[in-house]
Structure 1
Amino acid sequence: MSMSDGGARPGRERLVVVGGDAAGMSAASQARRLKDPDALEIVAFERGHFTSFSACGIPYWVGGDVPERDQLIARTPEEHRERGIDLRLRTEVTELDVAGKRVRARDVDTGAESWTSYDRLVLATGARPVRPELPGIDARGVHGVQTLDDGQALLDTLARARGRRAVVVGAGYIGVEMAEALINRGYEVTVVNRGSEPMSTLDPDMGRLVHAAMEGLGITMVNDATVTKVLTGDDGWVRAVATEDAEYPADVVVLGIGVHPDTALARAAGLPLGAHGGLLTDRAMRVRGHDDIWAGGDCVEVLDLVSGQQRHIALGTHANKHGQVIGTNVGGGYATFPGVVGTAVSKVCDLEIARTGLREKDARRVGLRYEAVTIESTSRAGYYPGASPMTVKMLAERRTGRLLGVQIVGREGAAKRVDVAAVALTAGMTVEQMTALDLGYAPPFSPVWDPVLVAARKAATKVRGF
């Protein structure tokens, strides 16, 4: 049976937010700062048990680096409600009626349904882990990791697993981070990867460095392998993962294949989606062609400022920025989200991995001709204690010398160096201009020529030579 809420009180508008994590609750909170409850009623729906949590922190909670789940929660449901947001947990929006400006929601526990009208709507439905349709994929002991509920379910499995063998399917960010988490838990870890090297967000030559480091940590890497089925025991629990060529025993399986935008609601409502399945918005994060609907976070596509194309990038940094932009616009202000350059960092044990901008295949795909250089350097002055090796790869556009991308693999002090390159990409700098950047130097922090600048010098020389 469906019921209706009767609409907002006369004289004030209602904002409905679908999704209670980074983008959704950032938008709700920012809108509340700008408009009080007498002017704007805010209703937020979240199908899970938690709000405003750090999904990026889940591997470190599973691995034991973060001891308590609640440390990952930035703002509790009670805190949101105290700020004048009508937050409804365990309530899933099942239908959007764009013409009637209302949403249908279902109580996950009771099944009761009701319609809620809106004046303005924010879609922050996030992304779902890729879960291929394979025999046994839904067996007990097979886990995707996207929410705190997912993380808790995995920890519950680890607590009662009969053995200490884990298989991670996929070697992207989530895959390598979960491999580390399971190593920290004392598991024997095998990573089954469809690509030729781990970390497909890097070029293969840089991924090869990650491969070597992971094997050095005791992780078994199986590349160029596609999982064909998950094998189970008589009790329904996973016992192995099979590829075309082999079987890998497993007491627990973690899927780290990636995510896709959770836009089934939007698709059913006829909202515009891009080539990657994410919602398309304008600079103000308003859904294209719909003046009263905004969208942000992992369910949208964003403009890549380097390639000029739309991309889907599921990162909390973008989601929080989207929420701020949306909340400002809904609240009567003005803000825009210009786009991204594709910066991301990760680690597996003490190995740090970073990238920003385009890979070689990205540049080729959009028709850019480039020069690529790779340099070896150290995190500190070579004579200073603790200096560790670092590899930097840099792409520059042929003829113009415009920076196109940077990848870094190394130990302590490597990953965050990518931020210099991210700023240079955003500013449209050439590698020649980068060589003159006035970066901080002291022997405990850097060689006299920072590794990023060494790569810029080599790239500038190569561009000039061409």
Structure 2
Amino acid sequence: MSMSGARGGRERLVVIGGDAAGMSAASQARRLRGPGELEIVAFERGHFSSYSACGIPYWVGGDVAERDRLIARTPEEHRARDIDLRMRTEVTEIDVARGRVRARDVDSGDESWTSYDKLVIATGARPIRPDMPGADAPGVHGVQTLDDGQALLDSLAHTRGRRAVVVGAGYIGVEMAEALINRGFEVTVVNRGKEPMSTLDPDMGRLVHRALEGLGITMVNNAEVTKVHTGEDGRVRAVATEDAEFPADLVVLGIGVRPQTALAEAAGLPLGTHRGLLTDLAMRVRGHENIWAGGDCVEVLNLVSGQEQYVPLGTHANKHGQVIGTNAGGGYATFPGVVGTAVSKVCDLEIARTGLREKDAHRVGLRYETVTIESTTRAGYYPGASPMTVKMLAERRTGRLLGVQIVGREGAAKRVDIAAVALTAQMTVEQMTALDLGYAPPFSPVWDPVLVAARKATAKVRPR
């Protein structure tokens, strides 16, 4: 086992994780400080760097033709900017007391220690695999990294049967269900919740349920997978719940992800209730002056509820990286928190949410009113106008906006950004009714659907 050599007085920044947060941090630090001042070493255990994990379902489904379209910057491009990116190298230990990390070459097994002055932990997340028989059988796939996506595509090419089961109906679950339909599979989605998309309230999730069934997908709600059955060849052949069995030539796990923080926990770094690393506003790990963390391995502050939350999204990871790189490079930046905005689609049905769901508001002790309205994406008389449903939560008495959910056809989802800005500004629904939004018949009705919901919510929260 070797130890890295002298640095000639330069500081060394070590980054664990070569995707969005890690390489954004490395790149931003390099912009601020040249190679003569700061040495940057980054470790990535996979085959790819700086890629869009969010694009994997669309690559699997055939909407994105080539894997390389998802790669924002190759290892060679990072190295050309004097970032020593070491691929297929996994960090196995963080020695906080001595300021060093131990890394293992995945292919050769060789190990070495690398010392650091500053450390960035960007270890990401891992797909949740149910603790049950057969969960690791060939033909059962999680989809989190580009390596996972490649393994799934290889499996699709060699799977003789055309029956697929998707376990879970969150963002990844519904996107992968559509991707598999596009690939010619018969798809069953097994979901433990009352309706798909638990990030929505069940009444809005019901709209997604209908859209999935409209694609020919079999939706099984209120069902939890208890076992994966395998055949004589060891491959998956069926998925079982307590009272049913679903034949499967391929299984995709879409039941969410967990922060990959075992390395940080073993080093004694602080974790939150969701097992994500805890940081301050500068994304510095709490209690550690020269260690930062970002991306899918951290918890973030929800600005609406005031509580820490686990929200693994690429948008946050890139922002975290910018903040970390600025601070590690000697500048100053903060990440104040999130309001919980996310969008997705099932075929041409768009799904959006921001802020709190009903159960979120109830859990933190907020009293609220809800309104749900039906409108159209364009002026009703304009060609291409299609229906959209907007649900809005507002705090009782104060009228403060608490959350918005939107389900509709083309042009619906990005309207959630209006609500995201309003939440960040802590606006009331009455203040929202006066927003000067853009209008023309090809883009919206004269009263935008979000503002129609705000008007109705205003009337409902006013003291009688």
Check whether TM > 0.5. Answer: yes
Spell out, residue by residue over 1:393-420, the C-alpha distance to the aligned partner (whole angstroms, 9 max, x if none): 0000001000000000011001000000
- Which residue of the partner structure matches residue 434 of structure 2? 436
SS of 1:320's equivalent in the other structure is: helix
Spell out, residue by residue over 1:326-376, the C-alpha distance to the aligned partner (whole angstroms, 9 max, x if none): 000011110000000000000011110000000000000000000000000
State how 1:181-192 maps to structure 2 within 5 Å: 181-192=179-190
Whole-angstrom CA distance in 1 between matches of 2:307 and 2:383: 44
Whole-angstrom CA distance in 1 between matches of 2:8 and 2:361: 54
- Which residue of the partner structure matches residue 205 of structure 1? 203
**Superposition deviation, residue 460 in structure 1:** 0.3
Out of 264, 268, 273, the residue aligned to residue 270 of structure 1 is: 268
State how 1:306-345 maps to structure 2 within 5 Å: 306-345=304-343
**Superposition deviation, residue 146 in structure 1:** 0.5
- Which residue of the partner structure matches residue 191 of structure 2? 193
SS of 1:32's equivalent in the other structure is: helix
- Which residue of the partner structure matches residue 32 of structure 1? 30
- Which residue of the partner structure matches residue 6 of structure 1? 5
- Which residue of the partner structure matches residue 88 of structure 1? 86
Whole-angstrom CA distance in 2 between matches of 1:81 and 1:210: 44
Whole-angstrom CA distance in 1 between matches of 2:183 and 2:384: 27
Contact 2:386 2:408 in 1 (8 A): yes
- Which residue of the partner structure matches residue 288 of structure 1? 286
- Which residue of the partner structure matches residue 412 of structure 2? 414
Whole-angstrom CA distance in 2 between matches of 1:160 and 1:134: 25
- Is 1:425 matched with 2:423? yes
- Which residue of the partner structure matches residue 141 of structure 1? 139
**Superposition deviation, residue 163 in structure 1:** 1.0
Whole-angstrom CA distance in 2 between matches of 1:58 and 1:213: 21
The share of aligned pairs that are identical, in percent, is: 85
SS of 2:210's equivalent in the other structure is: helix
Shifted more, 131-140 versus 45-54: the winner is 131-140
**Superposition deviation, residue 6 in structure 1:** 2.5
**Superposition deviation, residue 123 in structure 1:** 0.1
**Superposition deviation, residue 108 in structure 1:** 0.3
Gaps of 5+ in 1: none
Spell out, residue by residue over 1:221-271, the C-alpha distance to the aligned partner (whole angstroms, 9 max, x if none): 000000010011101111110001111111110000000000000000000
**Superposition deviation, residue 195 in structure 1:** 0.3
Whole-angstrom CA distance in 1 between matches of 2:58 and 2:98: 44
Whole-angstrom CA distance in 2 between matches of 1:335 and 1:245: 53
Spell out, residue by residue over 1:142-186, the C-alpha distance to the aligned partner (whole angstroms, 9 max, x if none): 000001110011011110111111100000000000001001111
SS of 1:285's equivalent in the other structure is: coil
**Superposition deviation, residue 54 in structure 1:** 0.2
SS of 1:277's equivalent in the other structure is: coil
- Which residue of the partner structure matches residue 129 of structure 2? 131
**Superposition deviation, residue 432 in structure 1:** 0.1
| Aligned residue type for 1:243 | T
Out of 109, 112, 120, the residue aligned to residue 111 of structure 1 is: 109
State how 1:32-181 maps to structure 2 within 5 Å: 32-181=30-179
TM-score by length of 1: 0.99
**Any runs of at least 4 consecutive aligned residues in structure 1 with deviations exceeding 6 A, and if so which?**
none
Whole-angstrom CA distance in 1 between matches of 2:208 and 2:379: 24
**Superposition deviation, residue 10 in structure 1:** 2.5
Whole-angstrom CA distance in 2 between matches of 1:137 and 1:337: 37
Whole-angstrom CA distance in 1 between matches of 2:156 and 2:463: 56
**Superposition deviation, residue 465 in structure 1:** 5.0
Contact 2:102 2:113 in 1 (8 A): yes
Whole-angstrom CA distance in 2 between matches of 1:158 and 1:414: 33
| Aligned residue type for 1:208 | R
Spell out, residue by residue over 1:102-138, the C-alpha distance to the aligned partner (whole angstroms, 9 max, x if none): 0000000010000000000000000000001111111
**Superposition deviation, residue 275 in structure 1:** 0.3
Whole-angstrom CA distance in 2 between matches of 1:265 and 1:136: 26
- Which residue of the partner structure matches residue 365 of structure 2? 367
Contact 2:399 2:428 in 1 (8 A): yes
Gaps of 5+ in 2: none
**Superposition deviation, residue 11 in structure 1:** 2.0
Whole-angstrom CA distance in 1 between matches of 2:274 and 2:217: 32
- Which residue of the partner structure matches residue 399 of structure 2? 401
Contact 2:122 2:295 in 1 (8 A): yes
Whole-angstrom CA distance in 1 between matches of 2:127 and 2:137: 16
| Aligned residue type for 1:382 | G
SS of 1:297's equivalent in the other structure is: coil
RMSD value, Cα: 0.6
| Aligned residue type for 2:453 | A
Spell out, residue by residue over 1:71-129, the C-alpha distance to the aligned partner (whole angstroms, 9 max, x if none): 00000000000000000000000000000000000000010000000000000000000
| Aligned residue type for 2:2 | M
TM-score by length of 2: 0.99
Spell out, residue by residue over 1:190-232, the C-alpha distance to the aligned partner (whole angstroms, 9 max, x if none): 0000000000000000001111111111110000000010011
- Which residue of the partner structure matches residue 19 of structure 1? 17
| Aligned residue type for 1:153 | A
| Aligned residue type for 1:87 | L
| Aligned residue type for 2:346 | V
Aligned positions, number: 464
SS of 1:391's equivalent in the other structure is: strand
| Aligned residue type for 2:96 | V
Whole-angstrom CA distance in 1 between matches of 2:30 and 2:327: 12
Whole-angstrom CA distance in 2 between matches of 1:401 and 1:133: 44
Contact 2:397 2:463 in 1 (8 A): no
| Aligned residue type for 1:345 | V
Whole-angstrom CA distance in 2 between matches of 1:242 and 1:162: 21
| Aligned residue type for 1:171 | A
Contact 2:204 2:405 in 1 (8 A): yes
State how 1:377-396 maps to structure 2 within 5 Å: 377-396=375-394
